[in-house]
């Protein structure tokens, strides 16, 4: 499925332990595709699973699931399969850790473009984006560069308006009519411009307006109880009404949000009267319950109510939060003509298909953007360096250096130091004495014709490892290919000193040229193909299955082209072999375990085992024989 065949993926064991849902009994992990009949777990290897007496229904379920063959085709497996080099290993839990079973802590923030580190206090203020001159093209996402419009004669001091231009799609900010006065601090300049585009006049005015409005309003709410006409209020109401007419169309989402927020804030502070208000409790003011009760106690006695509430007429009408009534408070009435202008613009010849921002372009922009003319350059998103911890034991797995320029890690426990690295390559068998046949084209495997692939496992640990491989004899999915591991059980040597091997090699008589030896070799059941210092190669015999609808399948005349195409679309023709790897080794007891187990002495060996599924992508099966 990845870029090229062959490839290997490792499934993180965390997929077998789903998040426990406390509410209900675990629902079964069955994928919809698992309706296919249960495949026998018959494998060429020894099945290490012992049959336990079933105790309860639950346990039976569990066991069934454990026995279930890993299906690389299930949509869920896409989320648990990782290339081996992306996995980590927790030394405390002795388990493979994928991005799903770690927690992450941010160490530092930096801009991937200028590699400047952003202090954590400024990250939020810059909206998680670079605050300097780094921008991405809104059309094609390539980085933009600052350049002048006028090519001034002297190279020394370039003058004049500056623009951001894209080197890939030749988009410049001139397309949207933006020039900069200075080549530095572009982000700020742009910010000012966008503010002015979305009506800064309105923004300041409205804020002042609403503030003035609030100022007028809050004394009024007291006055209201005296039932006095308030002529000033009309004036205040009139002003925003004017605003309403003028500026509604230009108000951006952020600006409108700000006005709404200030409106709600003023409403809240207005309506929540002083705690001495006897009616407070009626509206559930969240003053502490005790105080509230006390207040209502006092309020009930008419004698004291005068002290606190004062005017009795205030009682029947406590201030209630109202809704926004004009644009200065964030209300926006849809215009009558509606989207006529948009429709006109859509239909106009100079807009066309390319004039409309595509979906991926729009997701990065503010929600109002619709046309490609409205696209703004995007400041580069910051990136983070993150430390990673094991989710279950909090053991730290990865700790990078803080500096953005440094690519080094203080701690990094990658899984490949613990699990053998699987590599796959096709076996080219010399056909008797003729010229060696070319390697089979992995992108076009002929169905029903056996292929031999070599699986090499390379050990990176300093201890020898015993490996047991198991595969389902028939791969899951609609295209059933037969798979046999010729030697399912083998050992891999330790990752010892390279000199050891060299010395060993020297002692051994150099009789046969390894090439020659390989040429003579024939894959044989029960025999390891090749073995080195810390690696072992075994042979897998694969008989690719037939694609549904292909001529090889049955007596059908001519392949069903459509069905074949669908198969290739859904990657059904990709030959993937799930392999269960079980590894055992004797590790030196670690320090903590010495403390726990008292008998353990330094140098004691502890038997370890690790088991996981891995997926080998062999190739694509063609339709024709």
Partner 1 sequence: MSATSNLRHSQTARPSSPHTPQQPLRSANTSFASASSPGSSFRNEDDAIIFEIGARCLRAGFEGNGTPVCVKRFGPEEMRRAADYRGWIHGDIGAGPLPKPVNAEDWVRDYELWQPDLKNVDLGLVEDKIERVFRETYNQYLLTDAGTSRLVLALPALMPHPLLSSLLSIIFGRWRFPSITLLPSATMSATAAGLRSALVVDLGWAETTVTGIYEYREAVTKRSTRAMRALMLETGRFLTRLASGNDNDEEDDDKEESSDGDISVGFTYCEEVTAMDQTISIPSPKNPEHEYQDLPLSDMAKSVEKVMLAPDVPECDLDDEEKSIPLLVYNSLLCLPPDARGICMARIVFVGGGARIPGLRQRILKEVRLLIARHGWSPIRGKVVERQRQRLEELKITSQTNSHSQSPDNIPAGTMDDEKEKSDPSKEEPEADFVDQKLRRQNKDTPVLIQGILREVESLGPWAGASLVTSLKIRGTVEIEREKFLQYGLAGATRDLEQPVPDRRSGLRAGDRSSWTLAGWA
Give the per-residue contact string, 455-474, with partner 1 (x = CB under 8 A; - = no). --------------------
Distance CA 81, CA 257 (A): 42
Minimum Å distance from CB 351 to partner 1? 8
**Toward partner 1, which CB reaches closer, 340 or 439?**
340
The window from 168-176, 188-196, 290-298, 487-495 that contacts partner 1 (CB under 8 A) reads 290-298
* Residue selected from 324, 448, 543, 587 as contacting partner 1 according to rule CB under 8 A: 324
Cβ contacts of residue 505 below 8 Å, gap of 6+? none
The alpha carbon torsion through 137, 138, 139, 145 (nearest 10 deg) reads -10
**Toward partner 1, which CB reaches closer, 383 or 403?**
383
* Residue selected from 233, 473, 484, 489 as contacting partner 1 according to rule CB under 8 A: 233
Q: Could you tell me which of 95, 81, 101 has the C-alpha nearest to residue 9? A: 81
Minimum Å distance from CB 112 to partner 1? 11
**Toward partner 1, which CB reaches closer, 370 or 531?**
370
Residues in 122-151 at the binding interface with partner 1, rule: CB under 8 A: 123-124, 127-128
Neighbour tally for 34: CB within 10 Å: 17
Cis peptide before 6 (omega within 30 of 0): yes
Give residue for tokens 């003028």.
Answer: 246
Minimum Å distance from CB 163 to partner 1? 26
Q: Could you tell me which of 431, 432, 426, 430 has the C-alpha nearest to residue 446? A: 426
Helix (H, G, I), strand (E, B) or coil at 262: helix
Cβ contacts of residue 398 below 8 Å, gap of 6+? 88, 386, 387, 388, 409, 411, 412, 413
Residues in 83-102 at the binding interface with partner 1, rule: CB under 8 A: 83, 86, 99-100
Alpha helices by DSSP H, listed for 144-230, are 186-197, 200-223
Count interface residues toward partner 1 (CB under 8 A). 123
Residues in 349-408 at the binding interface with partner 1, rule: CB under 8 A: 352-353, 356, 358-359, 363, 366-367, 370, 381-382, 384, 386, 391
- CB-CB contact of 479 with 549 (8 Å): no
Residues in 421-450 at the binding interface with partner 1, rule: CB under 8 A: none
| Distance (Å) of CA 13 to CA 71, 80, 123 | 13, 8, 36
**Toward partner 1, which CB reaches closer, 367 or 526?**
367
Give residue for tokens 């309506």.
Answer: 271
* Residue selected from 104, 463, 501, 584 as contacting partner 1 according to rule CB under 8 A: 104
**Toward partner 1, which CB reaches closer, 324 or 474?**
324
Minimum Å distance from CB 449 to partner 1? 25
Minimum Å distance from CB 78 to partner 1? 5
* Residue selected from 68, 292, 489, 590 as contacting partner 1 according to rule CB under 8 A: 292
Residues in 531-590 at the binding interface with partner 1, rule: CB under 8 A: 561-563, 565-566, 568-569
Q: Is 269 in the site for partner 1 (CB under 8 A)?
A: yes
* Residue selected from 146, 149, 193, 325 as contacting partner 1 according to rule CB under 8 A: 325
Minimum Å distance from CB 253 to partner 1? 5
Helix (H, G, I), strand (E, B) or coil at 620: strand
* Residue selected from 81, 390, 397, 419 as contacting partner 1 according to rule CB under 8 A: 81
Q: Is 312 in the site for partner 1 (CB under 8 A)?
A: no
Q: Is 113 in the site for partner 1 (CB under 8 A)?
A: no
Q: Is 296 in the site for partner 1 (CB under 8 A)?
A: yes
**Toward partner 1, which CB reaches closer, 91 or 571?**
571
**Toward partner 1, which CB reaches closer, 45 or 617?**
617
Minimum Å distance from CB 220 to partner 1? 6
Cβ contacts of residue 6 below 8 Å, gap of 6+? 424, 425, 426, 442, 453, 616, 617, 618, 619
**Toward partner 1, which CB reaches closer, 256 or 582?**
256
Minimum Å distance from CB 122 to partner 1? 12
Distance CA 34, CA 73 (A): 10
* Residue selected from 185, 221, 305, 392 as contacting partner 1 according to rule CB under 8 A: 221
Q: At what angle do helices 200-223 and 231-247 cross, to 10 degrees?
A: 160
Buried b (16+ CB within 10 A) or exposed e, 305-319: beeebeeeebeeeeb
* Residue selected from 143, 183, 237, 494 as contacting partner 1 according to rule CB under 8 A: 237
The window from 188-196, 214-222, 429-437, 476-484 that contacts partner 1 (CB under 8 A) reads 214-222
Residues in 27-46 at the binding interface with partner 1, rule: CB under 8 A: 27, 29-32
Residue spans of beta strands (DSSP E) within 345-403: 378-379, 383-390, 396-400
Minimum Å distance from CB 136 to partner 1? 14
Distance CA 369, CA 376 (A): 9
**Toward partner 1, which CB reaches closer, 117 or 584?**
117
Minimum Å distance from CB 111 to partner 1? 12
Distance CA 14, CA 379 (A): 37
Residue spans of beta strands (DSSP E) within 427-462: 451-458
Q: Is 287 in the site for partner 1 (CB under 8 A)?
A: yes
Q: Could you tell me which of 167, 124, 169, 177 has the C-alpha nearest to residue 146? A: 167
Q: Is 480 in the site for partner 1 (CB under 8 A)?
A: no
Tokens of 225: 């109880």
Q: Is 317 in the site for partner 1 (CB under 8 A)?
A: yes
Distance CA 471, CA 44 (A): 7
Minimum Å distance from CB 413 to partner 1? 18
Q: Could you tell me which of 573, 550, 543 has the C-alpha nearest to residue 624? A: 550
Cβ contacts of residue 159 below 8 Å, gap of 6+? 148, 150, 152
């Amino acid at each position: 499925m990845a870029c090229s065949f062959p490839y290997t993926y490792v499934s993180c064991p965390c997929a077998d332990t789903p998040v426990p849902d406390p509410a209900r009994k675990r629902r079964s992990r069955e994928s919809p595709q698992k309706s296919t009949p249960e495949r026998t777990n018959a494998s060429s290897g020894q099945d290490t699973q012992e049959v336990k007496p079933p105790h309860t229904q639950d346990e039976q379920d569990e066991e069934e699931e454990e026995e279930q063959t890993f299906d690389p085709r299930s949509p869920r497996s896409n989320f648990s399969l990782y290339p081996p080099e992306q996995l980590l290993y927790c030394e405390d839990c002795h388990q493979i850790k994928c991005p799903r079973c770690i927690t992450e802590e941010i160490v530092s923030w930096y801009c991937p473009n200028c590699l400047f580190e952003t202090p954590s206090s400024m990250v939020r203020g810059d909206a998680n984006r670079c605050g300097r001159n780094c921008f991405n093209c809104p059309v094609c996402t390539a980085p933009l560069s600052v350049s002048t419009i006028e090519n001034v004669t002297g190279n020394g001091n370039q003058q004049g308006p500056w623009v951001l231009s894209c080197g890939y799609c030749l988009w410049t900010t001139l397309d949207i009519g933006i020039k900069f006065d200075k080549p530095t601090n572009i982000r700020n300049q742009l910010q000012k411009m966008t503010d002015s585009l979305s009506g800064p006049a309105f923004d300041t005015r409205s804020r002042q307006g609403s503030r003035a409005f609030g100022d007028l309003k809050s004394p009024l709410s007291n006055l209201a109880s005296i039932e006095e006409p308030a002529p000033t209020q009309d004036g205040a109401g009139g002003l925003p009404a004017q605003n309403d007419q003028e500026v509604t169309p230009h108000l951006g989402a952020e600006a409108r949000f700000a006005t709404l927020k200030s409106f709600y804030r003023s409403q809240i502070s207005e309506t929540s009267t002083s705690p001495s208000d006897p009616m407070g409790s009626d509206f559930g003011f969240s003053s502490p319950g005790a105080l509230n009760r006390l207040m209502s106690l006092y309020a009930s006695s008419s004698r004291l109510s005068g002290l606190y509430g004062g005017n009795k007429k205030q009682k029947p009408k406590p201030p209630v939060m109202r809704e926004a009534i004009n644009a200065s408070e964030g209300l926006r009435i849809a215009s009558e003509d509606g989207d006529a202008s948009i429709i006109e613009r859509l239909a106009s010849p100079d807009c066309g298909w390319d004039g409309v921002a595509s979906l991926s372009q729009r997701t990065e922009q503010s929600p109002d953007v619709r046309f490609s003319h409205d696209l703004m350059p995007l400041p580069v998103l910051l990136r983070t360096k993150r430390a990673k911890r094991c989710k279950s034991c909090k053991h730290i797995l990865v700790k990078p250096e803080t500096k953005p320029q440094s690519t080094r890690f203080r701690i990094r426990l990658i899984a490949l130091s613990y699990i053998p690295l699987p590599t796959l390559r096709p076996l080219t068998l010399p056909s008797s004495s003729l010229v060696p046949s070319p390697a089979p084209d992995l992108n076009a495997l002929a169905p029903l014709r056996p292929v031999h692939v070599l699986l090499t496992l390379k050990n990176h640990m300093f201890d020898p490892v015993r490996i047991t491989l198991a595969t389902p004899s028939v791969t899951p999915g609609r295209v059933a290919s037969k798979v046999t591991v010729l030697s399912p059980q083998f050992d891999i040597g330790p990752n010892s000193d390279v000199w050891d091997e060299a010395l060993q090699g020297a002692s051994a008589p150099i009789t046969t040229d390894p090439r020659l030896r390989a040429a003579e070799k024939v894959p044989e059941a029960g025999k390891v193909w090749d073995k080195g210092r810390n690696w072992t190669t075994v042979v897998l015999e694969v008989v690719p299955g037939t694609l549904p609808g292909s001529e090889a399948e049955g007596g059908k005349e001519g392949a069903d082209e459509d069905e074949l195409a669908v198969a290739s679309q859904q990657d059904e023709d990709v030959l993937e072999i799930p392999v269960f790897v079980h590894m055992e080794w004797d590790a030196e007891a670690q320090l903590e375990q010495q403390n726990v187990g008292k008998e353990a002495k330094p140098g004691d060996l502890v038997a370890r085992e690790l088991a996981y599924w891995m997926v080998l992508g062999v190739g694509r099966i063609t339709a024709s024989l």
